[in-house]
Amino acid sequence: MKWMKWGCALVLTAAMGFPASAYAEDSKSTDLTTRTYGFDTIDETLVLQSALFTYQSGLTFEYPDAVRGIYVTGHSAGGARFERLTNLIEQTELNTMVIDIKDDLGNLTYIPADDSPLKQLDIGKPYIKDPNVMLKTLEEKKIYPIARVVVFKDSVLAENRPDLSFMDGNAVWENRRGDSFVNPFMKEVWDYNVQIAIEAAKMGFQEIQFDYVRFPEGFEKRHDVLGYSLGQYEDSDLDPVQRRVEAVTDFVAYAKKQLEPYGVDVSVDIFGYSATLPEAPGIGQNFSKISENVDVISSMIYPSHWTSYFGIAKPDLEPYQLVDAYAKVENTKLDELKNRPTSRPWLQDFTASWLGSGNYLKYGKKEVEAQIKALQDNGIHEFLLWNAGNTYTENVDYTP
């Protein structure tokens, strides 16, 4: 059947409970003729080249002068805190929410509708009772919506499908925090997450932000002892490091391509230190290669997460100096790219007391503003604030 309506480019594979005609083409192919997806055959040349086939959600949002946003969990987006957070944005220079749609455990933060292709995955939680109502509220308040989709950190999928994860003997491997990852080498995992992103785009989110686009931390120390499939990379001649880099980079490029008919931007969260290295060897993140394939790159540059970097002995005590030093490195790296994405780093709006006495500051107005100023002094005007509990500092000047 030829593609007959907007927004039905379904890409989940048969193993996830979808028809066997699911997308099975080599992702590197440049042939843009007819391709087969989960339910329909699409003339992708028309889809990608004609504005007539850009999916319309029915909601209208304008891109801000510069994105200045906050992170919002599914619980906050669907609970009493939502009103408090929208009020914060309306009363300040903030203008954007990054909202969990697929969270750190692998759950959807809402229950899909009965006619949704995601319904049968049975991973929905009733945190956001009605995403459409929530988005309509954001439209009315002119708050720019970004959907956060956690990709390869996914304990739910790993438990349900151990063959898509990493096995430690007869058990799914877990890190020290008890979290499991799924395998970036597996195309089926890509499609699983892309379809979630597609549904978010169809709801009206203006950007899909992929997080945990990587192998587990320290994977290079266990890559030869864990059990897992190399998928389509089985015959790769690359060394283990470059093979991981290729898989992660290929996923980003693939996801962006699949989301083109929906008119959304694509961003990726990435470790800040990856910009200081040719690549992060264990996790497969190459800053330049990922940046070439996204609209926005969001480095996580929380001062508390660095150790004696840039000649700064205790980075959490020096928020301006740390962010300033990082921004210079990132700008140099991005200036080398043919397709330069927007830089929109994640900044720290929390106190890292776990660092111990003498190694951390209580973060408040002064420390948040120092980070923003460091970005602006380096020509970077977009940023996102992270606080896991969604409790943000009051009276901050977000355009110092």
CA distances to 33, 56, 64, 115, 127 from 111, in Å: 35, 22, 30, 11, 8
Of 131, 125, 148, nearest to 69 by C-alpha is 148
C-alpha span between 75 and 390 (Å, rounded): 10
| pLDDT the model gives residue 56 | 87
What phi and psi values does residue 234 have, to the nearest 5 degrees? -55, -40
Residue 341, both tokens: 């994405």
What phi and psi values does residue 34 have, to the nearest 5 degrees? -80, 130
Residue 393, both tokens: 């500092």
| pLDDT the model gives residue 281 | 83
Using alpha carbons only, give the angle 36, 39, 40 rounded to the nearest 5 degrees.
Answer: 50
C-alpha span between 25 and 14 (Å, rounded): 14
304 within 8 A of 357, measured Cβ to Cβ: no
The verdict on residue 246 lying in a domain is: yes
Of 189, 184, 200, nearest to 160 by C-alpha is 189
| pLDDT the model gives residue 34 | 35
194 within 8 A of 255, measured Cβ to Cβ: yes
- Please enumerate in sequence order all residues whose Cβ is within 8 A of that of 281, keeping only pairs 6 or more positions apart, or say none: 220, 241, 244
Domain containing 150: what range? 69-300
3-state class (DSSP) for residue 66: coil
Question: Quick one: which H or E segment has residue 223?
Answer: none
Of 345, 350, 355, 277, nearest to 315 by C-alpha is 355
Reported as a single tens digit per residue, the pLDDT across 8-57 is 333 343 334 333 323 333 333 333 333 333 334 444 454 444 445 578 88
The verdict on residue 336 lying in a domain is: no
Q: How many CB atoms lie within 10 A of CB 124?
A: 17
The verdict on residue 287 lying in a domain is: yes
Residue 194, both tokens: 């892309």
DSSP string over 126-150: TTSS-HHHHHHHHHHTT-EEEEEEE
| pLDDT the model gives residue 54 | 72
Q: Is 58 left (phi over 0), alpha (psi -120 to 50) or beta?
A: left
Of 58, 81, 363, 4, nearest to 203 by C-alpha is 58
The verdict on residue 140 lying in a domain is: yes
10 Å CB burial of residue 205 (0-12, 13-18, 19+) is: buried
Question: Quick one: which H or E segment has residue 159?
Answer: helix 155-160
The whole-model pTM stands at 0.87
In this structure, what CATH number is given to the domain that contains residue 257? 3.20.20.80
DSSP conformational letter for 336:
T
**Residues belonging to the chain:** 400
96 within 8 A of 78, measured Cβ to Cβ: no
The verdict on residue 272 lying in a domain is: yes
Return the bridge partners of 94, or none. none
The verdict on residue 319 lying in a domain is: no
3-class SS letters over 250-261: HHHHHHHHHHHH
| pLDDT the model gives residue 53 | 59
Number of domains into which the chain is organized = 1
Using alpha carbons only, give the angle 348, 353, 356 rounded to the nearest 5 degrees.
Answer: 130
Of 105, 94, 3, nearest to 50 by C-alpha is 3
Which stretches of the chain score pLDDT less than 50?
Answer: 1-44, 46-51
Please report where in the chains the tokens 């962010």 appear, as a residue: 323
| pLDDT the model gives residue 400 | 78
